[in-house]
Amino acid sequence: MQALIVSNILLWLLLIVSSLVLLGLIRQIGVLHSRIAPAGALMLDKGIEVGQPAPQVTAADRFGRPINIGYAGERSTLLFFLSPTCPICKSLIPAIKAISRSAKDLDVIYVSDGDAAEHDKLIAQAGLEKSSYVVSPEIGMTYQIGKLPYAALIDQAGILKAKGLVNSREHLDSLFETELLGSSTLQDYMKAQSESPGIHTPS
């Protein structure tokens, strides 16, 4: 009888724990759903075409040091356009930092515009004190950035390799992926795939 009671109590406790786990899992699914919610209609890009030389701009960073963008050099450049008022931009900063750490020969430049005090707050929050952080509306205008967060990848020769709206880590990675595959956009890649014989693509 004693053993039965102990086993019964144990089972109840385990049942409570497993319903808690179930609840936690379902909550996580809800959070995932809210994360992958559409962040705005994708539009066809305007501005400079991928594969063309990137526009050359020089702007001063926070400390007044000149930063050259679009010039040929020894390292590639990743431009990350952000705003202190955009929550998705903030959530992407750790991913950008990780890429900046792991990728060799890559300069990461954070580009933004607006109020200096808000930028200081964002920089302190995200720990970007050592990064190149440019507050300049000209770069955004030159590259015709209409939506944030936006990223552009420029190679050593000053050629714009990839660009696009980035809403997640996957979008960011795909910028580098496009450089690797040699297709500038997903559309180009699909086209190349369907034109090569023997490869079945779902239509």
Partner 1 sequence: MIDPIVSTSAALALAVIFASAASHKLRHPNWFRRQVREYELIPGLMVPVAARALPIAELVIAAGLLWSISRPYAGVLALLLIVLYGLAIAINLARGRKDIDCGCSGPAMRQPLQPALLARNLLLAVIALGALLPMLDRPLGLHDNFVMIAAGTVLVLLYTATDLWLANRPLLLNLSGEK
Of the pair 26, 199, the CB lying nearest partner 1 is at 26
Q: How far is the CB of 29 from partner 1 (least distance, A)?
A: 5
141 touches partner 1 by CB under 8 A? no
Continuous H helices in 51-201: 87-102, 116-126, 137-142, 169-181, 186-195
Q: Are 100 and 126 in contact (CB under 8 A)?
A: no
12 touches partner 1 by CB under 8 A? yes
* Residue 4, CA atoms < 13 Å, CB-side half-sphere: 1
Q: Looking at 2, 3, 7, 15, which residue binds partner 1 (CB under 8 A)?
A: 15
Q: How far is the CB of 118 from partner 1 (least distance, A)?
A: 28
16 touches partner 1 by CB under 8 A? yes
For 64-104, the three-class secondary structure string (H helix, E strand, C coil) is CCEEEECCCCCCEEEEEECCCCCHHHHHHHHHHHHHHHHCC
30 touches partner 1 by CB under 8 A? yes
Short-list 6, 5, 24, CA closest to 16 = 24
35 touches partner 1 by CB under 8 A? no
Contacts with partner 1 by CB under 8 A: the residue count is 18
Give the DSSP letter of residue 159: B
Of the pair 16, 60, the CB lying nearest partner 1 is at 16
Structural Rg of the chain based on CA atoms? 23
Which positions ≥6 away from 184 have C-beta within 8 Å? 49, 50, 51, 161, 162, 178
23 touches partner 1 by CB under 8 A? yes
Q: Looking at 3, 26, 43, 117, which residue binds partner 1 (CB under 8 A)?
A: 26
Q: Looking at 7, 27, 49, 194, which residue binds partner 1 (CB under 8 A)?
A: 27
E strands within 6-75? 57-60, 66-69
42 touches partner 1 by CB under 8 A? no
Site for partner 1, rule CB under 8 A? 5, 8-9, 12-13, 15-16, 19-20, 22-23, 26-27, 29-30, 33, 36-37
